[in-house]
């Protein structure tokens, strides 16, 4: 029987294909509001469906189940799922034929989201709205294009496709990660540009799409000409700019607080507290169950009563029959993506 309790501000991961007793207890902690899945949590479609059902049955309302599943090199579930091309492939298709590229982006959103929803996943951390300046080691072809207007057009089509399939979307990495070379997983990137330069280019997709995004994830990047703190720990970026100037009303997810670029804030409790104080609604703690245990044992934040309602609004809804897995529209979209990618393995 599921336990009735509100959803909290912590997003955790799990180790394998099934929950352990320790993980079940951890996921029932009042501070936990969701789970992020990784490739290690996936064996095949049936196993994934069983795992998400097990997670969903723990609590009422159900924990939010999420994944980084963008396409290209960031696609956690592969065998038995369609191969979605990197978003940069859609950008190159735009350079050849914008109308065709828009249609392909919507196809990508439909396939990506409908397959996740069919297996019990609520939300993917996509699309990447960073611009491709050709320098970032971690972004690269995860970005649609170097042109912010092209990025907006293709991201809008992808968002439409995801919505067709019953899924919201999370834009990342605000206010833009593409200009710096360093990888925030292992380093602290610094973008020396001033606010005007960032607003003129990188922030355009976030500004134009803020009303269509269910969530936004800030960058673990410092913009020293603007603020001394990384964007995910900066009340200026998250409250003054994102909430105030851009009018964003969705959920702000921190990037993983175990990444190297997050350690400048201190221990895991200090990182979570600083991210929350800056404006993050949800904090992610991944790949370190010891830190997850420490956070749950020591952190005592106020939990807004409306957080549960906002997270429940992100639960996936059933896809329209027209684009549901197995429908004619779904199969057509898969074929279009296969032709674009050249060679893919299907279920």
User: Residue 1 has which token pair?
Assistant: 């029987």
Tell whether residue 204 is among the known ligand binding residues.
no
Asked if 36 and 64 touch (Cβ cutoff 8 Å), the reply is: no
Burial of 174 (0-12, 13-18, 19+ CB in 10 A): buried
Among 17, 160, 183, 185, the one annotated catalytic: 185
- The DSSP string of 80-120 is TS--PPPHHHHHHHHHH-HHHHHHHHHHHHHHHHHHHHHTT
| Cβ-based neighbour number of residue 248 at 10 Å | 23
Known binding residue 220? Answer is no
Determine contact, residues 307/251, Cβ cutoff 8 Å: no
172 annotated to bind ligand: yes
To the query of whether residue 185 is one of the catalytic residues in this protein, the response is: yes
Beta pairing class for 215-218 and 251-256: parallel
145 is in an annotated binding site: no
> From CA 148, how far away is CA 178, in angstroms rounded?
12
Question: Do the Cβ atoms of 219 and 184 come closer than 8 Å?
Answer: yes
d(CA 304, CA 100): 44
In contact, 143 and 87? CB cutoff 8 Å: yes
Out of 255, 256, 274, 281, pick the active-site residue.
Answer: 255
Q: How far apart are CA 113 and CA 70, in angstroms?
A: 10
Strand partners, 222: 190, 230
Q: Is 229 annotated as a binding residue?
A: no
User: Is 274 annotated in the active site?
Assistant: no
Task: Answer whether 58's CB lies under 8 Å from 21's CB.
Answer: no
The torsion angles phi and psi of 138, rounded to 5 degrees, stand at -100, -25
Segment 148-151 long-range contacts (CB within 8 Å, at least 24 positions apart): 148/201, 148/202, 148/204, 148/205, 149/204, 150/91, 150/94, 151/91, 151/204, 151/205
Backbone angles phi, psi at 124, to 5 degrees: -110, 140
The residues annotated with a catalytic role in the active site are 185, 255
Residue list for the binding site: 68, 76, 142, 172-173
Residue list for the binding site for substrate: 68, 76, 142, 172-173
């Amino acid at each position: 029987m599921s336990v009735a309790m509100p959803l909290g501000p912590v997003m955790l991961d799990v180790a394998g294909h099934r929950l352990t007793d320790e993980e079940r207890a951890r996921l029932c902690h009042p501070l936990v509001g969701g789970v992020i899945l990784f490739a290690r949590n996936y064996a095949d479609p049936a196993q994934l469906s069983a795992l998400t059902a097990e997670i969903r049955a723990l609590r009422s309302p159900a924990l939010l189940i999420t994944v980084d599943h963008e396409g290209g090199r960031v696609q956690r579930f592969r065998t038995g799922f369609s191969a979605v091309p990197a978003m940069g492939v859609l950008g190159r298709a735009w350079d050849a034929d914008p109308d065709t590229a828009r249609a392909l982006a919507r196809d990508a959103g439909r396939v990506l989201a409908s397959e996740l929803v069919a297996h019990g996943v609520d939300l993917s951390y996509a699309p990447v709205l960073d611009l491709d300046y050709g320098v970032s080691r971690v972004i690269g072809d995860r970005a649609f294009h170097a042109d912010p207007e092209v990025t907006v057009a293709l991201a809008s089509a992808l968002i439409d496709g995801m919505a067709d399939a019953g899924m919201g979307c999370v834009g990342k990495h605000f206010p833009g990660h593409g200009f710096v070379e360093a990888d925030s997983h292992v380093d602290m990137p610094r973008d020396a540009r001033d606010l005007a330069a960032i607003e003129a280019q990188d922030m355009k997709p976030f500004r134009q799409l803020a009303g269509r995004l269910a969530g936004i994830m800030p960058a673990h990047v410092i913009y020293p000409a603007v603020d001394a703190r990384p964007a995910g720990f900066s009340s200026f970026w998250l409250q003054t700019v994102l909430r105030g100037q851009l009018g964003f009303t969705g959920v702000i997810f921190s990037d993983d607080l175990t990444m190297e670029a997050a350690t400048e804030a201190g221990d895991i409790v200090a990182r979570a507290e600083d991210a929350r104080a800056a404006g993050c609604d949800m904090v992610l703690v991944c790949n370190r169950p010891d830190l997850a245990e420490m956070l749950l044992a020591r952190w005592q934040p106020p939990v807004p009563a409306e957080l549960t309602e906002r997270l429940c609004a992100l639960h996936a809804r059933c896809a329209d029959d027209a684009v549901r897995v197995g429908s004619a529209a779904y199969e057509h979209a898969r074929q279009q993506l296969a032709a674009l990618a050249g060679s893919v393995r299907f279920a």
